[in-house]
């Protein structure tokens, strides 16, 4: 166990070179069309975006099921890979929200319901200081080639999508 952790930490550490410019500080060697980043010598990384689940209002049985599924998700991750979760808090742009999310009125007898639903969405969105959270999971792995990394990320991506789906969340590749 200790040797495994020691080897994992050695993989994440690379020789430090003093950067000559700002762009040299960013550890990205190449970006591929399928969203895979080469972030070091034979190290590749891919990010997935996932949505939140409403754990707080779930019943006790649902919470237990979510906990067990989340445990399965964590256990499915490769011990040789580095996994990072990123939560980005950002302010909601009200104009963009109104244009993309709200249901436009059509002039029929259902406009009353559309307006009520839109009001509910606006109240919910403007609460909590209009902060929206974007959630990402990034997986990095040592592979000999980008083809090996693609195979690995295809398998891991399918597993993540399945596990998050069973949790009631949606997980998509972040391109």
Q: Tell me if 112 is assigned to some domain.
A: no
Q: Tell me if 109 is assigned to some domain.
A: no
Query: In terms of residue numbers, what domain contains 139?
Result: 28-91+134-173
Q: Tell me if 60 is assigned to some domain.
A: yes
Q: Tell me if 79 is assigned to some domain.
A: yes
Closest-CA residue to 46 (of 123, 167, 161, 163)? 161
The pLDDT confidence band at residue 15, using thresholds 50, 70 and 90, is low
In contact, 97 and 125? CB cutoff 8 Å: yes
Q: Tell me if 162 is assigned to some domain.
A: yes
Residue 34 maps to which CATH number? 3.30.70
Q: Tell me if 49 is assigned to some domain.
A: yes
Mean pLDDT computed over 28-45:
91
Residue 92 scores a pLDDT above 90:
no
User: What is the reported pTM?
Assistant: 0.73
Q: Tell me if 116 is assigned to some domain.
A: no
Q: Tell me if 102 is assigned to some domain.
A: no
Q: What is the mean pLDDT of the chain?
A: 85
Work out how many domains the chain is built from and give that number: 1
Most confident of the following: 100-114, 115-129, 133-147: 133-147
Beta carbons within 10 angstroms of residue 155's beta carbon:
11
Tokens matching residue 134: 């974007």
Most confident of the following: 20-24, 30-34, 96-100: 30-34
The pLDDT confidence band at residue 58, using thresholds 50, 70 and 90, is confident
């Amino acid at each position: 166990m200790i040797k495994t952790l020691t080897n994992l930490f050695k993989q994440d550490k690379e020789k430090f070179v003093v950067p000559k410019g700002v762009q040299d500080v960013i550890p990205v060697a190449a970006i591929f069309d399928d969203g895979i980043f080469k972030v070091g010598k034979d190290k590749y990384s891919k990010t997935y975006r996932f949505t939140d689940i409403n754990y707080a209002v779930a019943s006790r049985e649902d919470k237990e099921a979510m906990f067990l599924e989340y445990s399965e998700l964590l256990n499915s991750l490769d011990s040789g890979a580095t996994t990072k979760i990123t939560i980005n808090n950002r302010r909601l742009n009200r104009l963009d929200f109104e244009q993309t999310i709200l249901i436009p009125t059509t002039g029929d007898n259902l406009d009353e319901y559309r307006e009520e639903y839109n009001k509910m969405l606006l109240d919910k969105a403007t609460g909590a200081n209009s902060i929206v959270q974007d959630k990402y999971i990034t997986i990095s792995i040592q592979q000999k080639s980008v083809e090996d990394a693609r195979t690995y990320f295809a398998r891991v991506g399918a597993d993540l999508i399945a596990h998050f789906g069973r949790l009631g969340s949606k997980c998509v590749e972040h391109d």
